[in-house]
Structure 1
Amino acid sequence: MDIIEILKADYQRFPVDQTYSIYAADVYFQDPLNNFRGVERYKKMIKFIQTWFLNCRMDLHNIQKLENTIKTEWTLSWNTPLPWKPRIAISGWSELGLNSNGLINSHIDYWHCSRLDVLKQHFS
């Protein structure tokens, strides 16, 4: 299966049953809250999201491959496990770098909002 089709399917069922075999073992991950290296750490982060975020959704708006880079545009939303269960949404994009074997060796997420904007959503 084509990596684009795999990513589309992963986004649809995120954070459940992600396809980690498309990532290099030493993949570099970065978002506004984290940066680390290694697919095992990435699995732990996804497991954290799966465990603590309620009704998690990853809506994919666009995906395109340009040579050795895949760019995705998305909105991640969930309910935070606070008594009032606020619905939080972050829109952003990812740049996925591919190595010579066609595996993702870097995954960098960017947000269209600040970390403070995300925090404020919990209380609005």
Structure 2
Amino acid sequence: MAYILPNLSPILLQSKEKSSAIVFHQPCSPPLISPSSVSISSVNAQTKLEPPPPRGLAQVNRTPGAQDKKQNEKDEFFVNLGLAVRTLREELPSIFAKDLNYDIYRDDITFVDPLNTFTGIENYKLIFWALRFHGRILFRDISLDVLRIWQPSENMILIRWNLRGVPRVPWEAKGQFQGTSRYKLDRNGKIYEHKVDNLAFNFPQKLKPAASVLDMVATCPASPNPTFLWGPVDVHSSSWVEFYMAVKDTLDRQGSMIAQDCLATCSW
């Protein structure tokens, strides 16, 4: 025994040194993390990071600005402008057969010819009613042809037309004359003024119209440009003069009736 212990001591010491060396040189392992702690921390991290709102939703909830409003008004103007041009082109040739579509006009529309001015949509409707009514009485055949439509500016429509008719009286030959209708539009594309001017006449040589709205423009050819001047002529009765005066008298009587109604209402 005394022999064995001294001989074993170096071995035990050597083994202890090796174990201690192994333990000392063993790399440090990372701390253990429980699955529950990992899931809780990841959930908390996800709840803190809010995703950005969808792009489409942001566009829907965006309040339109002044630029969008201006663009919408411009789009509405061009839509109404196109409707006005299409309506005038399609309906003017049939004004002596059927009524027009008045949706393209404002309620306070003003009609102007070289001698008269009428205001209001009701008077404007009455003008075309009188044209149809007296046109059928005084003429066997009467029609209007649209020769040209163009825009000298964004808010104006110009139409060059030709009116021709065959009077019912046997001693009058058929005649025709041209004119220009100027339609002014507001910023919404609605017509607020209709002006007739630039009249040029082509009547038979033996028949001259009276000195009225049908005054002949001497030595001036038909043109779409407003270059005609009015000049005096000899006074002769014709169906064209009667036609114009009949339409004007209808509007004048309507105006006097409205004035009388207004006075009767005010007196009460």
Instruction: Point out the structure with max Rg over C-alpha.
Output: 2
| Equivalent AA in structure 1 for residue 190 of structure 2 | L
| Equivalent AA in structure 1 for residue 192 of structure 2 | N
Judging changes above 3 Å, is the alpha-carbon distance between structure 1 residues 72 and 51 closer, same or farther for their aligned structure 2 residues?
Answer: same
Where in structure 2 are the equivalents of 1:20-59 lying within 5 Å? 20-53=102-135, 54=139, 55-59=141-145
> Do residues 4 (structure 1) and 91 (structure 2) align?
no
- Point out which structure has higher relative CO (alpha carbons under 8 A, 6+ apart): 1
Q: Percent identity?
A: 27
Whole-angstrom distance in 1 between the partners of 2:145 and 2:173: 18
| Equivalent AA in structure 2 for residue 10 of structure 1 | E
8 A contact 2:83–2:104 mirrored in 1: no
TM-score by length of 1: 0.83
Whole-angstrom distance in 1 between the partners of 2:116 and 2:146: 21
| Equivalent AA in structure 1 for residue 143 of structure 2 | R
Whole-angstrom distance in 1 between the partners of 2:188 and 2:86: 17
> Do residues 64 (structure 1) and 180 (structure 2) align?
no
The alpha carbon displacement at 1:63 in A equals 0.3
Secondary structure of 1:116's partner?
Answer: coil
8 A contact 2:99–2:128 mirrored in 1: no
Higher percent of residues as helix: 2
- Render the CA deviation track for 1:21-74: whole Å, top value 9, x for unaligned: 111111111112421111110111111110111322111111013300001111
Secondary structure of 1:63's partner?
Answer: strand
Stretches of 4+ aligned residues off by more than 6 angstroms: none
| Consecutive unaligned residues in structure 2, runs of 5 or more | 1-81, 202-212, 218-234, 240-268
Judging changes above 3 Å, is the alpha-carbon distance between structure 1 residues 32 and 86 closer, same or farther for their aligned structure 2 residues?
Answer: farther
Judging changes above 3 Å, is the alpha-carbon distance between structure 1 residues 79 and 60 closer, same or farther for their aligned structure 2 residues?
Answer: same
Whole-angstrom distance in 1 between the partners of 2:104 and 2:159: 15
Across the aligned residues of Structure 1 and Structure 2, the Cα RMSD in angstroms comes to 2.5
Secondary structure of 1:115's partner?
Answer: coil
Please say which of residues 74-83 and 64-73 is displaced more in the overlay: 74-83
Secondary structure of 1:112's partner?
Answer: strand
Paired residue for 1:115?
214
Paired residue for 2:176?
89
Paired residue for 2:4?
none
Higher percent of residues as strand: 1
Whole-angstrom distance in 2 between the partners of 1:42 and 1:105: 11
Aligned residues: 123
Secondary structure of 1:2's partner?
Answer: helix
8 A contact 1:64–1:72 mirrored in 2: yes
Whole-angstrom distance in 1 between the partners of 2:237 and 2:162: 15
| Consecutive unaligned residues in structure 1, runs of 5 or more | none
Paired residue for 2:188?
101
TM-score by length of 2: 0.41
